[in-house]
Amino acid sequence: MDAAALCRPASFFPRSAGPGQRRRSGGSLASGSFPSAGRFPGPRPCRFLRSASSSASQWGMGVRCRAAGTESKAASDAVVRSGEPGQDRLLKVPVSNIRNFCIIAHIDHGKSTLADKLLQLTGTVQMREMKEQFLDNMDLERERGITIKLQAARMRYVLDNVPYCLNLIDTPGHVDFSYEVSRSLAACEGALLVVDASQGVEAQTLANVYLALENNLEIIPVLNKIDLPGAEPDRVAREMEEIIGLDCSTAIQCSAKEGIGIAEILNSIVTRIPPPNDTSQSPLRALIFDSYYDPYRGVIVYFRVVDGSIRKGDKIYFMASGKDYFADEIGVLSPNQMQVDELYVGEVGYLSASIRSVADARVGDTITHFGRRAASSLPGYEEATPMVFCGLFPVDADQFPELRDALEKLQLNDAALKFEPETSSAMGFGFRCGFLGLLHMEIVQERLEREYNLTLITTAPSVVYRVNCANGDIIECSNPSLLPEPGKRRSIEEPFVKIEMLTPKEYIGSLMELGQERRGEFKEMNYITENRASLIYELPLAEMVGDFFDQLKSRTKGYASMEYSFVGYRESDLVKLDVQINGEPVEPLSTIVHKDKAYAVGRALTQKLKELIPRQMFKIPIQACVGSKVIASESLSAIRKDVLSKCYGGDISRKKKLLKKQAEGKKRMKAVGKVEVPQEAFMAVLRLEKEVM
């Protein structure tokens, strides 16, 4: 054997392959490095054998290995071009092969799990990257196990050797995020209606179906969780036919967790959901259905192309805001952002154009070309009507500008959020914010604190009251401090909601009792099946913004569900409850309550304040008043100095003189003294108001 052969690594020597092993082929020696001694089958080769001839031989091997490496790189490039995960989803398909759909369901019926399985089966997400609730990218969503934001994902699916592009939009299920659902429905032609095969039709199932029908979507019923022991798919299918009126003879039975029936769902999406209309020759019109703020790239817009096409570098025009930009980057969401050169009719994608002002690209706006503008904009979205209001104040007053910027950026991502500046004598500068519900309020507060590092105080939730003044004016009032004096107002109206509760029949009595306690007006009761009933009440929104939902769940052991809608304003016997400390009204603690509840709320507030306000050198009366009438009162006794300590005896008149002098001093001190209510007291009373209200 020659010297060059001796210097070759072990992998170059032919050897017999054992069971289950392949013969190893040569590796590259281009770097000139040798393997360790452990890789040689025989004794370690001598150093002097590395002669000029061996070097030449080694150089020759290096050339061969480099050539082989070039060939393998070319082959791998071909593999990348043909089938690298993700790249095939960027390949264009005809407009007739595009399907836009969303998933709608009641909360916790398995939407996110089904979306995960669709992404997995179509190869959109690789197994190594897969995790539960893949599209829920907020920590808050994962912690609570709910979907808060709609998420889009592009998938590629091949049926009968024909490739299809499927654009999925996953939606939230809670009633407080119904605005997110309505926005996603407007960007689709079809919807998967997911119903839990063990729980059946719930309140939000109905609400979402009606939203889908309003948008003329093709609805595909899906019965999920059929693997559960308590699943009754046949009963639930009948229930859906009776309550919703959908034909469930072709309903798909599946288990998203176990992967049963997922292929059938994909086939139904392709065969039953219609493609978008082909208007590729028309001027560009694209509907913005979501957006968010990126600190490096500015506003990132999610849109669906309705007419025409858009290319990277095009000069675009936002029809509502009147601003124009260059489309620096366009792409698709699959589910991560992937850049493309062009998007056309029916496709869903994102756009980055270095938009720094959050007001320039609002949800519902229409994008068109600057040079070839569309004749009219798309209908957009109906403005969300806030139901619940509260004040948000920074604990540190210096954070007020940061809070304003954070709210503007968050409003870009959450179009249902409304806010306006507000000033409080106790808490300084802040904002009066409007939300769709209590959960929405809680989520916004938590997102502000987590994503923007703010520390906030939240006032008790309230609603908008309508005040009919004596001079004929009508004032909308969401803050008790803005309520006109009793002599200037004729009546106060409060918002009412129609609430539908679906419950098993054994809990009907406890829910009726809850409705009566909350000043509810009973409307009707229907047995939708043999064991489930629907209760409909109309009750004041102010009674529902407290712990109504918690009470509903606890009284029915979690089996009941609810859905509500605004029905209008009605006149009620409402009063403004003021809190006076040492004769001075404290505006931040004022609240609007029903006359029947005024005493209970007033008593609770005065007792709590007595515990929280530090004692002074003089007696402090704490009073809850309706107008000029005091309905609840507590007093904080004074800190007394023992002025009799120097008297070791003597006449009683001497002691009386000292006590009289002390009383006069206390009286003078009370007249000029001011009571400072500490911040902790305000926060504790606000928490108490939330509980009592």
Hey, do 388-459 and 466-572 end up sharing a CATH topology, with the first three levels equal? yes
Check: CATH 3.40.50.300 for 87-272? yes
Q: Is 475 annotated as a binding residue?
A: no
Q: Is 224 annotated as a binding residue?
A: yes
What is the pLDDT, as a whole number, of residue 179? Answer: 67
* CATH H-level superfamily of 285-369: Translation factors (2.40.30.10)
Q: Is 107 annotated as a binding residue?
A: yes
pTM of the model: 0.65
- For the chain, state the CA radius of gyration: 35
The residue with tokens 């402090």 is 620
For the chain, the maximum distance between any two Cα atoms, rounded to a whole number of angstroms, is 131
CB 90 within 8 A of CB 340: yes
* DSSP assignment letter at 637: P
For residue 299, give the H/E element and its range.
Answer: strand 298-307
What is the pLDDT, as a whole number, of residue 536? Answer: 92
Residue 205 has pLDDT above 50, yes or no: yes
Higher-confidence residue: 161 or 668? 161
The counts of H helices and E strands in the chain are 16, 31
CA distance 182 to 185: 5
Nearest to 537 by CA among 573, 574, 579, 565: 565
Distances 499 to 180, 247, 292, 540, 566 between C-alpha atoms, Å = 20, 27, 33, 10, 9
State the pLDDT confidence band at 681, using cuts at 50, 70 and 90: low
Q: Is 174 annotated as a binding residue?
A: yes
| Residue 505: CB atoms within 10 Å | 12
Q: Is 72 annotated as a binding residue?
A: no
Domain segments of the chain as ranges: 87-272, 285-369, 388-459, 466-572, 575-690
Query: What CATH number matches the domain at 466-572, 3.90.380.10, 3.90.550.10, 2.40.10.120, 3.30.70.240?
Result: 3.30.70.240
Topology (CATH level 3) of domain 388-459: Alpha-Beta Plaits (3.30.70)
What is the pLDDT, as a whole number, of residue 438? Answer: 76
CA distance 88 to 124: 10
In angstroms, the first-to-last Cα distance of the chain is 95
Q: Is 172 annotated as a binding residue?
A: yes
CB 17 within 8 A of CB 51: no
Q: Is 440 annotated as a binding residue?
A: no
What is the pLDDT, as a whole number, of residue 19? Answer: 43
CATH number belonging to domain 575-690: 3.30.70.2570
Q: Is 109 annotated as a binding residue?
A: yes
Nearest to 124 by CA among 171, 160, 150, 88: 88
Q: Which of 130-144, 458-472, 575-589, 627-641 has the lowest mean pLDDT?
A: 130-144
User: Alpha-carbon dihedral of residues 401, 405, 408, 412, nearest 10 degrees?
Assistant: -170
Q: Is 528 annotated as a binding residue?
A: no
Q: Is 443 annotated as a binding residue?
A: no
Mean pLDDT of the chain: 76
Q: Is 170 annotated as a binding residue?
A: yes
Residue 78 has pLDDT above 50, yes or no: no
What is the pLDDT, as a whole number, of residue 537? Answer: 92
Query: For the segment 238-284, what is each residue's pLDDT rounded down to a tens digit?
Result: 888 887 788 888 888 888 888 888 889 999 999 999 988 888 888 88
Q: Which structure tokens are listed for 40?
A: 């040689």
3-state secondary structure (DSSP) of residue 626: strand
Q: Is 645 annotated as a binding residue?
A: no
**Percentage, residues of the chain above pLDDT 90:** 3
What is the pLDDT, as a whole number, of residue 374? Answer: 84
Q: Is 60 annotated as a binding residue?
A: no
What is the pLDDT, as a whole number, of residue 386? Answer: 76
CA angle 206–171–369, rounded 5-degree value: 120
CA distance 173 to 204: 7
